Structure 1
Amino acid sequence: MVSDLLDNGIIRESDSPYASPILLVKKKNGEQRMCVDYRALNAKTIKDRFPLPHVDDFLDKLKGCRYFTSLDLASGYHQIQLEESSIPKTAFITPDGHFEYLRVPFGLCNAPAVFQRTINKVLGNLRYGKALAYMDDILLPSADFHSGLANLRLVFQSLRDAGLTLRLSKCQYFMEKVEYLGHEISSEGVQPGRRKTECVDRFPEPTDVRSVRQFLGLAGYFRKYIKDFAIIARPLTNLTKKDVSFAWGEDQHTAFQSLKTKLTSRPLLAIYDPELKTEVHTDASKVGIGGILLQAPPNGMFRPVMYYSRQTTKEEQRYHSYELETMAMVYTLKAFRIYLMGIQFKVVTDCNAIRTTLTKRDLVPRIGRWWLAIQEYKFDVEYRAGHKMSHADALSRNPRT
């Protein structure tokens, strides 16, 4: 391992006063990978606050796209040269001697920010729709083959000018369906990626709080795909609370299996389009609130774009049903804010009192504050009877009822 890094000019011998230890980590193929333990160095490092992109921001830019090209940069961080003053700080020791990195190593706390800043500079204005880059994963979406080919030439030229190389074995060109950052993308919409859902399917039943948190972290990455996620997960999230002893029972087993089943079915969501007719459906119960963002093309059926749900607190569970329904609407609009600002949309609810609130003058303080919080939106309210709102109703209620 060390000899390969030396031969490729990634490390050199060192006489630095720094000396981080190494660890050997087994890869999926059974081979060993050398990792440097930089925890002590990271603790003393001034953090680089350059932001990483938000995955949903990328997904929102894919409307109307039919072809997708996925590029992967070879060796990631190792393509970026370190400043001379930083090189001694990366020094590490092995049985073969004392070495230091000439290029950015894995494990440094600022490596992701440095890499993202670099790739943003390399791509420049191409980042605004033509090339979406998250670290070393670059996605080129296009509506047709010719525009996609033109964009690919521009990206290749930018990478060549910067001296960056690709790992050809991981690149895919002009695919109608591609997996990117854990999501499977096509012209039909987005859904959880197959590799991620296989990880969910193989996840063993938790035996302690740590494994519960691990599962919730994995499943929670895809919560926008799952109706009533927060309510289904309630028996599991309760186990992670402070001063709660671990006790795995029927409720926890049911919640665990339900989340696995829903995720492995790989639900498909539409890609948001600000030009389409938009509705927000909301509902509330004592145990939770929820909502759905839906859109429909002209003369087409409404499709879900995103789901939202959360549990109610003990205090909120004492609210009147009208207050809960209003709270569900307010929190759902806030959750979908980036999609709803500046467009006209419709809120659909099974609480007729919300519709009449629009014309009321005297509101109780809590309701009044909530309505003030959403006055920046442009929407109408439509009442629909409860039996016509079962899709939203499920978001706010225990899945076993």
Structure 2
Amino acid sequence: MGLSLDGRAKLRAVMRVRVDNFRLEFGNDPPVRVTPMQVRLKDDARPVRAQPRPYSPNDRAFLDRHTAALLAHGLVYKNHRSRWASAPRIVRKREQDVDPTADPRMTIDTRSVNERTEPMSWPMPVLDVVLGELEGARVFFVLDWFRGYWQLPLHPDSQELYSFVTHRGIYTPTRVPMGATDAVAYCQGVVDEIFGDLIGDGILAWLDDILGYAENESALLELLDKVLSRCEAYGLKLHAKKCQFFATEVKWCGRVISADGVKHYPERVQGLVDMSPPRTAGDLQQFLCAVNWMRQSIPEYTRITANLYDALERAAKISGSRKKNMLAKIRLDDVGWGDTEIASFENI
């Protein structure tokens, strides 16, 4: 089912008015109009400065292009005197599986900085609870922030902490970096500030992913205009290519949502079904992480997985670590893996 002729006319009218809410590439837009994120250092914190990492020629070229764009639009500045510097990480995007020429994503390895900061607390929504709000909804829209956290302001006192070093030197961000301890809590707080009264009453919002829902197209388009009006008021830009303005079925936060209900991505379920029985504790950890994402859909999940978590705990005590590379050295046969655990695995 698509939009009616009247609905199409209304949507075009909304888009004509709200066209400046959307972006396809970086521009000289100011940050979202909210209080900047300010980080609190622990009392004994001392600066850390990483060395430049080696990158492949393709990744070096991407870093050059990406940092040049960030510099051009005031999202970072050169800062060779920074006492803090972390190394960038180049992360492959799913789009690259379809388009090999697509750029990867740059994140910053802020673990050393995170260890030296006091984390901010903010209640995150529980997806399986908030999805219950969708009962009766028949039509939907999905909105995605443009470039995510790069729109969020970082307090001047905290900017130097998240400097990063490449083969070209040190750059200091003026916006919130992905990976910072407080980034997730701060982002969700911004979402609540902008859309608070609409959350649970027409929209659900998980960080930079927004889902709108209604019983009919007229109500949905009215809601869409209201949400875009909020975005405009705060200067929040949306990714034009990643938004859906009307649909009877959408993908959002790992779920497929329609009037028939909520289900997991079929490919994720199939991927779980196709997983081979674990041989090492690292394999088991990977399996449990995958299963945990779907725990609300698995009856008696806690009881069924108890033996598996016990086996993982025994392996962690032997290895002295919960890191996957360390757990991968521990064979499950050496930690009492037997018929009971195999039955639990197959049960799932």
Equivalent position of 1:256 in the other structure: 345
The alignment status of 1:22 with 2:22, answered yes or no, reads: no
Equivalent position of 1:98 in the other structure: 170
The alignment status of 1:225 with 2:297, answered yes or no, reads: yes
Q: 2:205 aligns with which of 85, 109, 133?
A: 133
1:54-95 per-residue CA deviation (whole Å, 9 max, x = no partner) reads 112321111111111111111110011111111111112111
User: Which runs of 5 or more residues in structure 1 are unaligned?
Assistant: 260-401
* Counterpart secondary structure, 1:241: helix
The alignment status of 1:11 with 2:76, answered yes or no, reads: yes
Contact 1:16 1:88 in 2 (8 A): yes
Separation in structure 2 between the aligned mates of residue 195 and residue 165 of structure 1, nearest angstrom: 31
The one-letter code sitting in structure 2 at the alignment partner of 1:123 is F
Q: CA deviation at 1:209?
A: 1.4
Equivalent position of 1:53 in the other structure: 125
In the superposition, the TM-score normalised over structure 2's length comes to 0.68
The one-letter code sitting in structure 2 at the alignment partner of 1:256 is F
The alignment status of 1:157 with 2:229, answered yes or no, reads: yes
Identify if the C-alpha distance between structure 1 residues 73 and 187 changes in structure 2 by more than 3 Å, giving closer, same or farther: same
* Counterpart secondary structure, 1:60: helix
Identify if the C-alpha distance between structure 1 residues 72 and 235 changes in structure 2 by more than 3 Å, giving closer, same or farther: same
Contact 2:139 2:220 in 1 (8 A): yes
Q: How many pairs align? A: 259
Q: CA deviation at 1:226?
A: 2.1
Percent identical: 29
The alignment status of 1:169 with 2:241, answered yes or no, reads: yes
Equivalent position of 1:377 in the other structure: none
Contact 2:213 2:220 in 1 (8 A): yes
Describe how 1:175-186 pairs up with structure 2 within 5 A. Answer: 175-186=247-258
Identify if the C-alpha distance between structure 1 residues 228 and 83 changes in structure 2 by more than 3 Å, giving closer, same or farther: closer
Contact 2:107 2:177 in 1 (8 A): no
Contact 2:128 2:296 in 1 (8 A): no
Separation in structure 2 between the aligned mates of residue 34 and residue 72 of structure 1, nearest angstrom: 18
Identify if the C-alpha distance between structure 1 residues 70 and 222 changes in structure 2 by more than 3 Å, giving closer, same or farther: same
Contact 1:182 1:195 in 2 (8 A): no
Q: CA deviation at 1:140?
A: 0.6
Separation in structure 2 between the aligned mates of residue 161 and residue 106 of structure 1, nearest angstrom: 24
Contact 1:68 1:174 in 2 (8 A): yes
Equivalent position of 1:70 in the other structure: 142
Describe how 1:189-268 pairs up with structure 2 within 5 A. Answer: 189-242=261-314, 246-247=332-333, 251-259=340-348
* Counterpart secondary structure, 2:236: coil
Q: CA deviation at 1:235?
A: 4.4
Separation in structure 1 between the aligned mates of residue 273 and residue 174 of structure 2, nearest angstrom: 41
Farther off after superposition, 55-64 or 97-106: 55-64
1:219-238 per-residue CA deviation (whole Å, 9 max, x = no partner) reads 12222222343444344233
Q: CA deviation at 1:168?
A: 2.2
For the pair shown, which has the larger CA radius of gyration, 1 or 2?
Answer: 1
Separation in structure 2 between the aligned mates of residue 232 and residue 124 of structure 1, nearest angstrom: 38
Equivalent position of 1:87 in the other structure: 159
Equivalent position of 1:308 in the other structure: none
User: Which runs of 5 or more residues in structure 2 are unaligned?
Assistant: 1-65, 319-330
The one-letter code sitting in structure 1 at the alignment partner of 2:72 is D
Q: CA deviation at 1:250?
A: 5.3
Q: 1:113 aligns with which of 165, 171, 185?
A: 185
Equivalent position of 1:38 in the other structure: 110
Separation in structure 1 between the aligned mates of residue 273 and residue 239 of structure 2, nearest angstrom: 29
Q: CA deviation at 1:198?
A: 4.2
User: Comparing both structures, which one devotes a greater share of its residues to strand?
Assistant: 1
Q: CA deviation at 1:104?
A: 0.7
* Counterpart secondary structure, 1:74: coil
Farther off after superposition, 30-39 or 43-52: 30-39
The one-letter code sitting in structure 2 at the alignment partner of 1:177 is E
1:111-135 per-residue CA deviation (whole Å, 9 max, x = no partner) reads 0111111121111312241221110
Farther off after superposition, 101-110 or 192-201: 192-201
Higher relative contact order (CA 8 A, sep 6+): 2
The one-letter code sitting in structure 2 at the alignment partner of 1:84 is P
Equivalent position of 1:280 in the other structure: none
